[in-house]
Structure 1
Amino acid sequence: MSRTPRVRISERLAWSRRVWLLAFAAFGLLAAAWSLAMPVDGTTDERQHLERAYGAVSGHLLGPQGVDPLVHRPGAAFQVPKSLLPPNALCVYFPNYRQDRSWVANPASCQRPAPATHAKVRVVSWVGRYNPLYYLAVGAPLRFSPDLTGIILSRLLAATLSAAFAATAAAIAVRTRRPLLLAAILTVMTPTTVALSSTVNPNGVEITAATLLWVCLVDLARPRLSGATNQRLLLGLAAVAGAVVLTVRAMGPFWFALAVAGAAAIAEPGRLRELLRRPAARLTAGAWVVVGALAVAWNVVSGNNKVTHTLIAVHPADRSVVTLLRVIAVERVGGWFTEAFALDIQASWVPLLWAALSAAVLIPLALLRARRVVLTALAVAAVSLGITVVLEIRFLGTLGWSQYGRYFLPGLAGVAVLLAAPFDDLPAALARRLPRLFALGAAAAQLWVLMVEMTRVQSGPVAPLNPLAGSWHPAVGSPAVLLVAALGAAALIALVWTATPAQASLPSPAGPYHGAKPQPGVEAGNTPLRHLMA
């Protein structure tokens, strides 16, 4: 006798929870390793974000206008405890305050200990006018422990937040039996994404939330992709992820609009009208409108959208667009993509090889997509890169060469999701081996970049690879950091192995997607590729 539907549903829910927890452990442990490994201000602009976070949690949501002394960049002034930061935190990146020297890194032993006193000192953070919501979410430990302990706890909160978004996106891919989508999500979770997620910097959670937003929107636009996933659940997840993308950074409304436009462009005929007839969808759209309006209003009222002349401004003799585009193509674009995979270091062959293998798999498979999906993915990629070029030229005379590869990762996440989401009928062998290959590559790249970065901050930028050596070590010890990272990599591999057994051992989908209209004889959630390409 077959088991009752209630028992089968209970088993499916238990299995889904195990998958999510395993994904959360994988991404969370990898990010936690970075949180423990890096010195104060050891990752991009962390000092500025720490000052902003302390100001927010101590009640100063918007400080008075000020000018950063390093590059004369406008921001907001805050009073922070002297114990929060070493007096020369920037020595990890700069030998002095001169701007005519290239970037030079030193081992973190160059930092002098932060004073034990909680006496306040005035600082100016150039991110001091960013929306305070992210900083309120992760900065609470700084209020009660304004020192290295509080910094690490705030980093771990940020890592937890990003891991939850990444794990949810991965769990949707696993639950709906789309191994290629799971593999694509692993490519979006580059070492740069994980490193940014591990620090007090809204860029990391922006990337992971954007990834989840793309997954939810694409599945809502083409419901036959995920027949086992409840629409209300997808709408709820999209509502949260969209609100985060809209608020955490000034460019958030742009990336949100790109995701909505990209999903609408590939929607099944009549799907948008069907969605808008649903109260939950209208409520989600209304919430986005309110949150988006408030986010834009904050940027305008706070002055976050205003940038004046800085000491790092660049004024080339030939400012013609053609010349600037040539310079950007030759000198900047390669660095953008390098930084998108390996933050703050010269990317070695390991992450670049992983990126090349990922492209070698995703691009040929993209040729099997419907023409509309391919064109939409190409448009999203072009817009993501194009806006970065436009901003590079726009702010050259004030911020200098100011754009980086990590800035367009929210858009590239959409490209990966668009190209990978519709596949759910890969041959059984390929469906198992492909994501497992990606998992091994991702785990290797994550560990390699972390070890290179640990060597840099512990021994200096020219030291041979050895994450156990150096004149500086994390408070928990370098071996403990590597152990946490290894556990995260093992959990990542275990996640993919768990998600890709023989099909017979996987729980059956919960049933048709509410509102989906699969073709006769076609089971929802297992739609042949020819029907999805119609």
Structure 2
Amino acid sequence: MSTLLRTRRQLRHAPIGTTMFRRSMMIFPFIAALSLLWAFASPLMSVPDEPAHTIKAVSVAQGQLRGTTGNNQGDLTLVQVPYYIAAIGQQACMGMKPTVTADCAPPVNGDASEKVDAVTSAGNYNPVYYVIVGSPSRFLSGESAIYAMRAVSALLGACFLSLAIAAAASMRRPFWPTTAALVAVTPMVLYLNASINPNALEIVTTASLFLSMCLVFENHKQLSSARFAMVVVGISGAILANTRALSLIWLTAAVVAAVIIYGFQPLLAVVKNRLGQTMMGLIALGCLASLAWLAVANSFKSLGGIPSEVTPDQAFFTMLDRTFSYSSGYIGIIGWLDTPAPGAVITFWSFAFATLILGGLSMSRGRGRIAVCLILLAVILLPPILQSQVITELGYIWQGRYLLALFVLLVLTCGIILRERPAPQGEWAQSVGRWFIAGAIGAHIYMFIYALRRYTVGIQQQTNWTEMFDSVWQPPLSWQVLALAYLLVLLMGGVLAYKMLLSRSTVTIENLAGSADLGDSIPDARDRRH
């Protein structure tokens, strides 16, 4: 018991930033491993728009920030890249054809490294993500270069996602924030994080910015203990501002939601703090750089589509009707939008989302419910508003993943305001927790193997699971090895999740009260249980 009390005192008196850092280091290997396994399981260029982003990343890494483009809406950008990169679109031969396996793709000829002209629809996008992810192409070629670029993207995203979960777990009442953070890690988030696409980076930096800011605000009376969290806020915000054209909206939403929940007093404390001023300046510089790039490069001109005769008001109400149709884009839809997640996976995450969102909406007092309502309205109204503005030029181009950063913010906001409610306790709560974590593991592995089925034998009308053992295409290491490794990582991650969420409830106040040197640990025990 004395060892337990010493450990609790050390945790209580350790700077909250140190606690967050240590937890992020524990979480990172699991998120990184899951993302890297997705990177190998998904055939090259099997993620929507990955060829365009790959060409952009290689061109930026070689010094071409923009290339040459026209002035008309949807004009492609001309850049110079190695021949094998220029021809990388051939790898997407199975796109939008769920019955076609990845065996249709020709080999990537890494020896064909002479520079040729290539076009990309991402030419006007902000170069920050691409200069990082494209760096392996400077010293590697062929499939090795592309897989290395995927790995860099996966590790970068895993870093910010680990920081987000660690920030939630470091709060005084961590159960609901941590639960929300784990629920937000859907198969779609991991799938995108394993590809060459800045979509995932904007999702994880939004989560990292918001949860780290909440942790800072929670400790605004002792900001010296939250220095690491403040640094994470600054870096996350600056990078988020420079991921995609809409990222400034998600940044603004995250900051506004945190201020509404905690009030202006914590914000004023940060403004008066020297490190806080530095991090706010870093975010401001990131926003200015993003706005400057948008003005100079005119990033929205890169969007391509088919002009439509549908009027903006018709498009608006059509998009309202489709609000829930895009939910699969939050949970899992692999390939070029051709293979939605199985019904069991959709059901599990829909239940988890509904639990958190209804819980957030049911809060009867406080400013938190205002934040939830505002973000929920944005989730419902932003797609119709944005789509209706471009319907005549581009037609219907909206995808669920475009809004995933904001939807994740909604889930996390619900988790933050639910921290006022006591955490489930007792044997029944632990049993429910174990089953819920087991359900999450089952849904994740089911989605992973389903994706492997789609690429190894195709999604046919008849059930063809057994045909996977005699498949026409195999990912690196074989699908069996990847699936087994994915399951093992999920199981170990599930143990860690259980310890973060529920193991504290086994240490009750009554247990601790039996010790003579309990001291002032009772309030801390109460906080940790809730």
What's the TM-score bracket when you normalise by the shorter of the two chains?
A: 0.7 to 0.9
- The alignment partner of 1:377 has SS state of helix
- The alignment partner of 2:141 has SS state of coil
**Are residues 1:43 and 2:47 paired?**
yes
The 5 A counterparts of 1:512-527 are 526=527
Does the 8 Å CA contact 1:66/1:124 hold for their aligned counterparts?
A: no
**1:343 corresponding residue in structure 2:** 333
Moved more, 186-195 or 171-180: 171-180
- The alignment partner of 1:395 has SS state of helix
Query: Displacement of 1:273 after TM fit?
Result: 2.2
Gaps of 5+ in 1: 95-102, 507-520, 530-534
Gap change, CA 1:26 and 1:383, over 3 Å in 2 = same
CA distance in 2, matches of 1:314, 1:353: 34
Query: Displacement of 1:271 after TM fit?
Result: 2.7
Does the 8 Å CA contact 2:43/2:455 hold for their aligned counterparts?
A: yes
- The alignment partner of 1:79 has SS state of strand
Query: Displacement of 1:365 after TM fit?
Result: 2.8
Does the 8 Å CA contact 1:36/1:475 hold for their aligned counterparts?
A: yes
**1:110 corresponding residue in structure 2:** 104
Does the 8 Å CA contact 1:81/1:120 hold for their aligned counterparts?
A: yes
Gap change, CA 1:369 and 1:417, over 3 Å in 2 = farther
**1:428 corresponding residue in structure 2:** 425
Query: Displacement of 1:79 after TM fit?
Result: 1.6
Does the 8 Å CA contact 2:238/2:284 hold for their aligned counterparts?
A: no
Query: Displacement of 1:363 after TM fit?
Result: 3.6
Gap change, CA 1:66 and 1:93, over 3 Å in 2 = farther
Query: Displacement of 1:374 after TM fit?
Result: 1.1
- The alignment partner of 1:256 has SS state of helix
**1:204 corresponding residue in structure 2:** 200
Moved more, 358-367 or 497-506: 497-506
Query: Displacement of 1:106 after TM fit?
Result: 2.1
- The alignment partner of 1:127 has SS state of coil
Gap change, CA 1:419 and 1:87, over 3 Å in 2 = closer
**2:244 corresponding residue in structure 1:** 249
CA deviations 1:186-224 (Å, max 9, x no partner) are: 221111111000011111111111111111222334448
CA distance in 1, matches of 2:7, 2:449: 48
* Aligned counterpart for 2:268 among listed residues 264, 273, 279: 273
**1:481 corresponding residue in structure 2:** 482
**2:517 corresponding residue in structure 1:** none
Does the 8 Å CA contact 1:32/1:156 hold for their aligned counterparts?
A: yes
**Are residues 1:152 and 2:152 paired?**
no
**1:230 corresponding residue in structure 2:** 225
**2:94 corresponding residue in structure 1:** 92
- The alignment partner of 2:280 has SS state of helix
CA distance in 1, matches of 2:102, 2:60: 27
Query: Displacement of 1:359 after TM fit?
Result: 3.0
CA distance in 1, matches of 2:263, 2:431: 30
**1:82 corresponding residue in structure 2:** 83
Query: Displacement of 1:304 after TM fit?
Result: 1.1
Moved more, 496-505 or 483-492: 496-505
CA distance in 1, matches of 2:498, 2:492: 10
Q: Return the letter of the residue paired with 1:171.
A: A
CA distance in 2, matches of 1:528, 1:493: 20
CA deviations 1:312-339 (Å, max 9, x no partner) are: 23223xx151x32332233x32331112
CA distance in 2, matches of 1:405, 1:42: 17
Gap change, CA 1:450 and 1:427, over 3 Å in 2 = closer
Gap change, CA 1:170 and 1:315, over 3 Å in 2 = same
CA distance in 1, matches of 2:429, 2:273: 35
RMSD, aligned CA: 3.2
CA distance in 2, matches of 1:190, 1:77: 35
Gap change, CA 1:19 and 1:465, over 3 Å in 2 = farther
Name the TM-score, length of structure 1 as normaliser. Answer: 0.84
Does the 8 Å CA contact 2:20/2:163 hold for their aligned counterparts?
A: no
Q: Return the letter of the residue paired with 1:218.
A: C
CA distance in 2, matches of 1:7, 1:184: 25
Does the 8 Å CA contact 1:162/1:204 hold for their aligned counterparts?
A: yes
Gap change, CA 1:469 and 1:130, over 3 Å in 2 = farther
CA deviations 1:28-75 (Å, max 9, x no partner) are: 12111110011121111111111001001111111111699xxx9323
CA distance in 2, matches of 1:202, 1:238: 19
Task: Report percent identity of matched pairs.
Answer: 21
CA distance in 2, matches of 1:89, 1:62: 24
**2:125 corresponding residue in structure 1:** 130
* Aligned counterpart for 2:456 among listed residues 455, 458, 481: 458
**1:34 corresponding residue in structure 2:** 38
CA distance in 1, matches of 2:150, 2:373: 35
Query: Displacement of 1:272 after TM fit?
Result: 2.5
CA distance in 1, matches of 2:235, 2:204: 12
- The alignment partner of 1:270 has SS state of helix
CA distance in 1, matches of 2:331, 2:232: 27
Query: Displacement of 1:183 after TM fit?
Result: 1.4
Query: Displacement of 1:86 after TM fit?
Result: 4.5
Gap change, CA 1:87 and 1:415, over 3 Å in 2 = closer
Query: Displacement of 1:242 after TM fit?
Result: 0.8
Q: Which has the higher helix share?
A: 2
CA distance in 1, matches of 2:202, 2:216: 21
CA deviations 1:420-478 (Å, max 9, x no partner) are: 12416324237745654443333222211222221112222326353555311112211
Q: Return the letter of the residue paired with 1:242.
A: G
**1:180 corresponding residue in structure 2:** 176
CA deviations 1:296-354 (Å, max 9, x no partner) are: 1012111213257x5523223xx151x32332233x32331112111232232122111
CA deviations 1:347-372 (Å, max 9, x no partner) are: 32122111232134324432236342
CA distance in 1, matches of 2:204, 2:82: 31
- The alignment partner of 1:117 has SS state of coil
Query: Displacement of 1:380 after TM fit?
Result: 1.0
CA deviations 1:381-407 (Å, max 9, x no partner) are: 211332222111112222321121112
**1:285 corresponding residue in structure 2:** 280
**2:411 corresponding residue in structure 1:** 416
CA distance in 2, matches of 1:228, 1:502: 26
Gap change, CA 1:342 and 1:296, over 3 Å in 2 = same
CA distance in 1, matches of 2:114, 2:279: 45
Gap change, CA 1:221 and 1:15, over 3 Å in 2 = closer
- The alignment partner of 2:157 has SS state of helix
CA distance in 2, matches of 1:337, 1:87: 28
- The alignment partner of 1:351 has SS state of helix
**2:503 corresponding residue in structure 1:** 501
Gaps of 5+ in 2: 509-521
Does the 8 Å CA contact 2:317/2:384 hold for their aligned counterparts?
A: no
